[in-house]
Amino acid sequence: MRASTWTIGQLAARTGLPVKTVRYYSDIGLLPVAGRSSGGHRRYGPEALEQLHLVQRLRALDTPISTLTQLASGERGLGDVIADEMGLVRSRLTELHWRQATLEALDDCSAPERLRRLEVLSRVQRLPEAQDRLARAWGRTIPASVPARLADAITAQAVPEPPGNPTAEVVLAYAELHTLTGHQDFPVYWACPHVRDKASLYSELLDTSELAADTVADGLPPRPGEALDHFSRACARSRGEDDTPGFRAFIGAQLHSTIPLFRRYWQHVATITAAQRPNLGITHCWLVEALASRRALGAGAAAQGLGGLGAGMALGRAGRPKRTATPGE
């Protein structure tokens, strides 16, 4: 006759687990006890057998005992446990993918370069912390007077989400972002020390970058045009100057000297995101190069418009062209 309850030994025989293991599971509350025999021994019903099978299968997936205890107590459901375990597995896979790509980046270079890469790559092996540091660096860099909406729009592009399965090139690019934000000249470019209305200048940066994006995406070289006119006029307006050929010559030369560091950062961003459309930093560099070109300077007399960010950031007041007075001033 089939028994309706079983001893620990019988449960062990039915599941293939050692008696010691089944007793341990019972002692920590994973198995419901149906009652006790006349001799005082614990007896287990069908619910305990079903629960023991579940515990056995979850342990095969390396589910922690603490998680099984929460499941047995009803604190968490099986769906929640599985979802959390999947999250942990994905996180671990990302760590392993990044470690593999890091080792590949260290393997494919000369000995001196290997030491340099090791230094920068070691800073980004803990991705959540590395991402937080990069976001905080940009939080310190963007002027406090810039509205949160604009700051968030810029940070969304400037702080790319690290991919889960990167190449060696991507891991190295991500590490280089951290190095560049630590450069002493990096925050200077964004500080706008001589711009009163920083919010307007940043807003115009986003507008101008969008205006130039299609031209840059088409691979056209820096040249005069509507986007450049907007860019130059905003630079002049942010400085309280007229958009004259002299102003364009001056600001183009000043900005062009600061662009290499800025360009490197945004090229690394493009490597990480693999986006087809150029980011705001790439378009900004294109506009600065267009402003510094002879063709752009020759077209300056007719320039009218709205512009980008760097003009207010990189220039001091000494040596700039003077603003011409207008009637009534």
The CATH number given to whatever domain includes residue 44 is 1.10.1660.10
> Which pLDDT score, from 0 to 100, does residue 327 have?
34
Q: Does the residue 325 lie in any domain?
A: no
**226 and 266 co-located in one domain:** yes
User: Exposed (0-12), middle (13-18) or buried (19+): which is 23, by Cβ within 10 Å?
Assistant: middle
Closest-CA residue to 229 (of 197, 263, 204): 204
**56 and 89 co-located in one domain:** no
Q: Does the residue 276 lie in any domain?
A: yes
**197 and 170 co-located in one domain:** no
* Other Cβ atoms within 10 Å of 84 Cβ, number: 13
Q: Does the residue 61 lie in any domain?
A: yes
Domain termination site, one of 19, 46, 76? 76
The residue length of the chain stands at 329
Q: How far apart (Å, rounded) are the C-alpha atoms in residues 244 and 298?
A: 10
**157 and 173 co-located in one domain:** yes
Q: Does the residue 327 lie in any domain?
A: no
Domain termination site, one of 76, 102, 130? 76
**Quick one: tokens of 259?**
């662009």
CB 165, CB 274: distance < 8 Å: no
The parts of the chain modelled with pLDDT lower than 70 are: 1-3, 294-329
**101 and 132 co-located in one domain:** yes
* Other Cβ atoms within 10 Å of 59 Cβ, number: 15
Q: Does the residue 2 lie in any domain?
A: no
**105 and 162 co-located in one domain:** yes
> Which pLDDT score, from 0 to 100, does residue 98 have?
94
> Which pLDDT score, from 0 to 100, does residue 294 have?
52
Q: Does the residue 1 lie in any domain?
A: no
- How big is the CA angle at 279 (ends 276 and 283), to the nearest 5 degrees? 110
Q: Does the residue 323 lie in any domain?
A: no
> Which pLDDT score, from 0 to 100, does residue 324 have?
41
Domain that holds residue 302: 186-314
Domain termination site, one of 181, 198, 230? 181
Q: How far apart (Å, rounded) are the C-alpha atoms in residues 16 and 48?
A: 15
**150 and 205 co-located in one domain:** no
> Which pLDDT score, from 0 to 100, does residue 119 have?
94
**195 and 272 co-located in one domain:** yes
**126 and 22 co-located in one domain:** no
pTM of the shown model = 0.74
Domain count, the chain: 3
**255 and 201 co-located in one domain:** yes
Q: Does the residue 240 lie in any domain?
A: yes
